[in-house]
Chain A
């Protein structure tokens, strides 16, 4: 019952968001049709990215959208400050160079989305490995001082096994002494 209630509440919320978006688009289309024309045609890569990005966070959409906006914004400024008409907007969207600039920017955004994660991942891997090395060193120091019993029966990592055998032998000698 509760789950069904939560699901129905979230679907109501989504519909509300959609209604708001449609209202805003409608209002903007009514108030600034030139801007809407440029955005509609120039922002197509962002819309595509939004459609193919199935993740909840929509990082691809943000990535493509951000740089797509970089490509669109100079043309928006042009119509806002020079000739705010549908004709001027149509001229811009029919200009191959302008459209290419907008889409290239979006493409650059996509390239960023594809190329940055491996770099970051590699970087994080290096950080993790160095942390592991640091922790192993700390563990070895503890074991050297307190013996292997300090691990509470947890098997030492493979790289420490040979070393630990030597130490056990040492302990045995001490015991006999």
Chain B
């Protein structure tokens, strides 16, 4: 096997170096106008304390997904720190950042702080993570420089023991490191006595890992779909790391990922990775235990601890590999191993679908694999596909994906070219949406129950099945509603707590938390199309996913077909956010919303009220208070008075109209009526005269 010295200065990272070489201009936290972006370079202040110098890169401390820069602590100038500049589109591990900030576990690079700041070389906001600098540098670098040496006798005391503590700590917090690899270990002190894990929060779990550090099932996925994982995955990576450090080289350096996976499928991971190397005998047992492909047979914290304390741990067990008695011919090759055959099927979908539909395949599964259950499952899948010929269940992709799971249930989901573990669904769809603008795949995978199908076919069940099923059911619920605040956008933010808001309005703002939203919208107001509402589907979904309060009434209003109600919904939602988060006034956002209030003001019936509102709105816009603005334009008492007044006015108007019509519309009837009144008057006059005369004459006679 070809050997390669440990590499120390990877070119990894998504921040292009060219972008970093721009003239130095002082940059603050505010987003400068578009024209100035990307052509500035200088220090950036984070949380009024850490000065990140974009002109002072530290390539030795780079992470694959984040470049390192020198940081100065304004409260302690002697403290050596560095900052990792995250890739803007890439979801980070915000939950881990939060607990690392509050609790500093031993064995992990001391985490100082994080925030989203404007990063001049990128010309946009991004997440910056601050760590204490490891004074002893990267372990692999020091080993390559022969500054130190790790022998098989040092492994237990100097490597595994200090590193097991953070693994156990993370496991107890329900998390996993998922970035354990040889080049992510650092000497914390100059004397190189303390080894710590490097960064693991700047990318999704397992994203930065070369596939040799991943258990076989996660190694088969795309980078973003590797999944959250568990302590067992960390132990696997630790086992591989030990092997690499003890050997002093990477045994897989010249093997392609595809070949590596195939060899691991055929031989098992330990044999494939280290079978052709000279692993010191004392290390064989722990490494076999840690690099076991069967998660149940793999060593856990207890076994590693036992080994460290010199007690006997259970011997690594090897799960017997299923092999067919007779090979199955596919594309000119014969396959005995169903796992390899499944991988071949997934690589050649149309041909695989044709072969699967033939009876010979089910017969091969029954006879050669001798597995009635699987043969039955294959038959059912083919029958189902025939029955739902026109549905997705009848498509080649679906059949092949399902058959691949039946043949190799531990392998990841392989559907439509996306390979992922169910717990890696979130980062996969997030990255697909953020980098390729493809949101549909997230909806498609879920609406077709692909992850659920995978979970159902697991035997034994996948470790997180109940929680994952619950999560997927909840996400499907969101998907079934098409209103703003739901749909595929909501799904993306619910499953990815650290995904920045993907709204085109906030394209360069990298809004990760709900607290960042209003200030970012406020800044965007100056260069956004203010004829559009500031809350689009992405922002509505982002708020719904990140804001703990009940915002259903607001979302319902936003979804209204009536423009004025929709605008009121947006204003009320933003005002609610401002009030609940106690955020300061935002003149830009307020003026943006204020400019859209025309239809809302016109929804008042009373013209005097409208005029008054038109006069008052600019005053409140200048104050920047969304809550006051909302109270002004949608005051309940004012609305009630207006409605009541309008109803009274309507009644009065109609009464008057009716009377007018009675007067005018009568025509001949009115003339006849007037004539009769005249006749009656004449008759009355006549009778009154007669009676008066009779009375007077009688009186005269009587006197």
Enumerate chain A interface residues (CB-CB to B < 8 A).
Answer: 57, 59-60, 62-67, 69-70, 73-74, 77, 81, 109, 112-113, 115-121, 124-125, 128, 131-132, 135-136, 138-139, 142-147, 149-152, 154, 157, 171, 174-177
Set of chain A residues within 8 Å of B683, measured between Cβ atoms: 57, 59-60, 62-63, 66, 113
* Cβ of B27 to closest chain A Cβ, rounded Å: 38
Contact of A117 among B599, B606, B678 (CB under 8 A): B678
* Cβ of A132 to closest chain B Cβ, rounded Å: 5
Contact of B679 among A67, A74, A116, A146 (CB under 8 A): A116
CA distance A138 to B342 in the complex (A): 85
Interface of B is mostly: helix
A-B interface contact total, Cβ < 8 Å = 151
Set of chain B residues within 8 Å of A57, measured between Cβ atoms: 676, 679-680, 683
| 6 A–B pairs (Cβ distance < 8 Å), ordered by A | A66-B685, A120-B681, A128-B663, A138-B652, A147-B607, A176-B598
- Interface centre among B614, B671, B674, B686, by most A CB within 10 Å? B686
The verdict on B697 contacting chain A, using a C-beta distance below 8 Å, is yes
CB pair A113–B605 under 8 Å, yes or no, is no
Known: A74-B697, A135-B656. 7 other contacts (CB 8 A): A67-B689, A120-B677, A131-B659, A136-B660, A146-B607, A146-B649, A151-B654
CA distance A112 to B680 in the complex (A): 11
CB pair A66–B686 under 8 Å, yes or no, is yes
* Cβ of A76 to closest chain B Cβ, rounded Å: 9
Set of chain B residues within 8 Å of A109, measured between Cβ atoms: 686
CB pair B646–A151 under 8 Å, yes or no, is no
Which of chain B's residues has its CB closest to A124's CB?
B674
Which of chain A's residues has its CB closest to B645's CB?
A146
* Interchain residue pairs A-B with the least CB separation, the first 5: A117-B678, A66-B686, A121-B674, A120-B678, A116-B682
Which of chain A's residues has its CB closest to B684's CB?
A62
CB pair B654–A152 under 8 Å, yes or no, is yes
Contact of A67 among B653, B686, B697 (CB under 8 A): B686
Enumerate chain B interface residues (CB-CB to A < 8 A).
Answer: 598-599, 601-602, 605-608, 610-611, 614, 645-646, 649-650, 652-654, 656-657, 659-660, 663-664, 670-671, 674-683, 685-690, 693-694, 697-698, 701
Contact of A150 among B611, B649, B697 (CB under 8 A): B649
Set of chain B residues within 8 Å of A67, measured between Cβ atoms: 686, 689-690
Set of chain A residues within 8 Å of B675, measured between Cβ atoms: 117-118, 121
Set of chain B residues within 8 Å of A171, measured between Cβ atoms: 602
CB pair B681–A116 under 8 Å, yes or no, is yes
CB pair B663–A63 under 8 Å, yes or no, is no
CB pair A112–B685 under 8 Å, yes or no, is yes
Contact flag A145-B653 (CB < 8 Å), given A60-B679, A112-B682? no
CA distance A69 to B692 in the complex (A): 11
CB pair B677–A124 under 8 Å, yes or no, is yes
Which of chain A's residues has its CB closest to B687's CB?
A66
CB pair A121–B678 under 8 Å, yes or no, is yes
CB pair B653–A151 under 8 Å, yes or no, is yes
CB pair B679–A117 under 8 Å, yes or no, is yes
Set of chain B residues within 8 Å of A70, measured between Cβ atoms: 689-690, 693
CB pair A65–B686 under 8 Å, yes or no, is yes
Which of chain B's residues has its CB closest to A73's CB?
B694
Contact of A73 among B608, B681, B697 (CB under 8 A): B697
Contact of A144 among B607, B610, B650, B686 (CB under 8 A): B607
Which of chain B's residues has its CB closest to A66's CB?
B686
CA distance A151 to B653 in the complex (A): 6
CA distance A144 to B680 in the complex (A): 42
CA distance A73 to B654 in the complex (A): 55
* Cβ of B680 to closest chain A Cβ, rounded Å: 6
CB pair B650–A150 under 8 Å, yes or no, is yes
CB pair B605–A62 under 8 Å, yes or no, is no
Which of chain B's residues has its CB closest to A60's CB?
B679
Contact flag A139-B674 (CB < 8 Å), given A66-B690, A175-B602? no
CB pair A149–B682 under 8 Å, yes or no, is no
Contact of A116 among B614, B650, B654, B678 (CB under 8 A): B678
CA distance A175 to B563 in the complex (A): 12
Set of chain B residues within 8 Å of A149, measured between Cβ atoms: 605
Set of chain A residues within 8 Å of B686, measured between Cβ atoms: 62-67, 109, 112-113
Contact of B598 among A62, A64, A143, A175 (CB under 8 A): A175
Which of chain A's residues has its CB closest to B650's CB?
A150
Set of chain B residues within 8 Å of A139, measured between Cβ atoms: 653, 656-657, 660
Which of chain A's residues has its CB closest to B691's CB?
A66
CB pair A117–B607 under 8 Å, yes or no, is no
CB pair A59–B679 under 8 Å, yes or no, is yes
CA distance A120 to B688 in the complex (A): 18
CB pair A62–B687 under 8 Å, yes or no, is yes
